[in-house]
Structure 1
């Protein structure tokens, strides 16, 4: 396994990036299935995975953030201030969106056991309205904002690639050797 360098991202960074990209594709598909194809076989196939994958994405995002901070002096530099701010926004959303869902889940009084792991037990009392309301107000909307930013992120990679070798950032994350 190689480490991050000034010209490309290392193996662990790439594994975290591409595994999260795949999980986000499923996560966004599950959200689209739920909101666009309610009570369909499409929703029945994808929606049950939304909460457990959201938890996995939160864990991976926290690991990815910790790794990025540890590697910050070794990583390729941002191509612009806009790219730097875009990446910061992506990280903030990757952490805050599932955190809001967990707050809402706890406030609802329902248990949460992703993949059978007892993460939080339910309770019989009245729900905690501010927790449920906060999650309900922001989780979905910020999720769609994340979707837009992810699409913009991918589009900018393609634009940079079309601008030629001097601007091509694709090899950084694809793993082209130094």
Structure 2
């Protein structure tokens, strides 16, 4: 079989190419969303953990400047919303979910994970507005500065942002743990859907 014939045969098994999801694996777009969000969220928690361990130091402030917490949080929010919309568009294409209680638990945990990646940074934006400071990135005003504080817009986000962030971390740890269990214990090829061949 010629190279061209092999490419045609491969394309026949992947009618929409590598960008879209299919019943046997997640596509390139889903994988890019997954990897980007994982990297950004890992950065956020790593910097927060380092500040809690070492306190505010010049070297840590220098590292944190590479990805300021607020800017990275905003990026997480935007990408998580895009990821959720993409996921909805791919529901009929995606690999089938596991059946039974374990499958239901997986669906609920994924839903909670995606929701928190939107809610946690959104709460921070509400808090910024409540403090009247506003938010500007690259000369573009995203949140107008009012110059006055609104305590009721600060109290709720202040109370929820931290605990929900740690809840997100717990869900991420569970997500990683289950991925390892699928690979090392059940050996069912689940991890290959996200990281295997396109």
Task: Give the alignment's TM-score, normalised by structure 1.
Answer: 0.91
Aligned to 1:103: 126
Match of 1:36 in 2: 53
User: TM-score, normalized by length of structure 2?
Assistant: 0.82
**Structure 1, 94-103 or 29-38: larger mean CA deviation:** 29-38
Q: CA deviation at 1:176?
A: 2.0
- 2:135 counterpart residue number: 112
Which of 157, 174, 180 in structure 2 is aligned with 1:152? 174
Match of 2:87 in 1: 68
**Alignment gaps of 5+ in structure 1:** none
Preserved contact between residue 106 and residue 122 of structure 1 (Cα < 8 Å): yes
Counterpart check, 1:169 vs 2:186: no
**Residues 156 and 60 (structure 1), Cα distance of their counterparts in 2 relative to 1, 3 Å cut:** same
1:47-98 Cα offsets, whole Å, 9 max, x none, are 7611000000000000000000011111112221111111001011011001
Q: Which residue does the alignment assign to 1:140?
A: 162
Q: Which has the higher contact order (CA 8 A, sep 6+)?
A: 1
Within the alignment, does 1:7 sit opposite 2:30 as a pair? no
Distance 2:143 2:19 in 1: 37
Which sits farther off after the overlay, 87-96 or 24-33?
24-33
Largest Rg, 1 or 2:
2
Gap change, CA 1:145 and 1:128, over 3 Å in 2: same
